[in-house]
Structure 1
Amino acid sequence: MAEHDDGSRSEPDVLVFRTTLTRMLVTMLLLGVVGWIFARLMVILLFDLGFSEEVIRESLISGVFYVMLFAGLGALGQRRRPTWVRLSGTGIELAAARRQPVFVPWDAVEAVRFRWFGPFTMVEVTPTSMAATSTGPPTGWGPRIRQRAGRPTIVTEVGLLHPGPDVLRAELTRRLPAGVVQPG
């Protein structure tokens, strides 16, 4: 099938990236296990408790309780206002967890940068002017804005979004002019 540019597109104009509960729970469980093992080893070593059968049993019981509580509270915190990113023909809309969404038209996107890796991946969108952006209804905290090189930058965590940060980077690279999406 030959491609033509008559304004119609075969792919959907809107692409939404959302946090899935399963992905978030698995990540929280893994982070909780790693955190608990580290913290428990520090306590055992600092207080010279040794690795007796009683200490190991106590560590396992308290570890299961801690990890389940950690993952459950994390899921509860994300349930009401999860993170999402929406790409459309007119621009990008970002909503960090429990924050107002921010819409940035494509022509107002000066730079996009991905930081960190894995579940900690963040996207930073620097608009040409904050006046060109618009925010959603004031039903949460204000947008997450940081100063990067003296410029206001909208920051959103995207490491747990589905289909994933790599797909988001590819889609932004496709929709924006060359050089706007900067390497990590």
Structure 2
Amino acid sequence: MAHIDQVLGPADDTVTFFQPRAMVYVTMLWVTAAVWVICLGLYLLMRLAFGDPLPAGSVVTFLEMALIVPAVLSAAILLLAWKRLGWLHSSMHGLDFAATGRKPVHLPWAGVATVSLRHWGPFRELVVTPIAPDFATVGDGVGRAPRTRKRGGEVSYLVDVGLMSPGPEVLIAELHRRLPTKV
């Protein structure tokens, strides 16, 4: 005869999604580098347009700035957000999540009306809409209030999931698997 725990399964079946720091750094590095190089290019064009000649060693200086500034800036931003990157836990108790730099939110499965994804790539967001605002419990964590979107009297919570591991598609499949079917 099987033991009751073997039949019912584990007491805690939490699936965790998180943002790997290395992936966040590399993505931030490319975005920062693209913006920085465009700004440097515009600066050079403006100098040339106004007839200000470039000094002899300025090309090397601009190349150094194009390489060093994005790396240092991305590292500094990552260090500031080190312990506050976004995460999501899906378990039999409900859905727990926090966007980067925001307070955590808990929603029991019976209180989740819809979950969906919007946007694409690293900017992808999970939109969690509770049945009623009373179902959501905001935690006492460090950070600002949770990101919300209000439309037509509905309050939805937004979580940045574009860089989460294992990935937004796996995350949404897990959430749809756990959502109770509405009749």
**What TM-score results when the alignment is normalised by the length of structure 2?**
0.82
Unaligned runs of 5+ in 2: 1-5
Aligned-residue Cα RMSD (Å) equals 2.6
Q: Secondary structure at the match of 1:65?
A: helix
Q: How does 1:126-165 map to 2 (within 5 A)?
A: 126-165=129-168
Contact 1:112 1:123 in 2 (8 A): yes
Q: Distance in 2 between matches of 1:51 and 1:158?
A: 44
Contact 1:28 1:70 in 2 (8 A): no
Aligned residues: 173
Task: Name the counterpart of 2:36.
Answer: 36
Percent identical residues: 30
Q: Distance in 1 between matches of 2:41 and 2:147?
A: 35
Contact 1:100 1:139 in 2 (8 A): yes
Task: Name the counterpart of 1:174.
Answer: 177
Q: Distance in 2 between matches of 1:22 and 1:113?
A: 26
Q: Cα distance 1:47–1:128, how it changes in 2: closer, same or farther (>3 A)?
A: same
Unaligned runs of 5+ in 1: 1-5, 180-184
Q: Secondary structure at the match of 1:79?
A: coil
Q: Distance in 1 between matches of 2:131 and 2:7?
A: 27
Q: Cα distance 1:100–1:38, how it changes in 2: closer, same or farther (>3 A)?
A: same
Give the ranges of 4+ consecutive aligned residues of structure 1 lying more than 6 Å apart after TM superposition: 49-53
Is 1:79 matched up with 2:87? no
Q: Cα distance 1:80–1:149, how it changes in 2: closer, same or farther (>3 A)?
A: same
Flag the structure with larger Rg: 2
Q: Distance in 2 between matches of 1:110 and 1:80?
A: 30
Q: How does 1:1-184 map to 2 (within 5 A)?
A: 8-9=8-9, 13-48=13-48, 54-177=57-180
**What TM-score results when the alignment is normalised by the length of structure 1?**
0.82
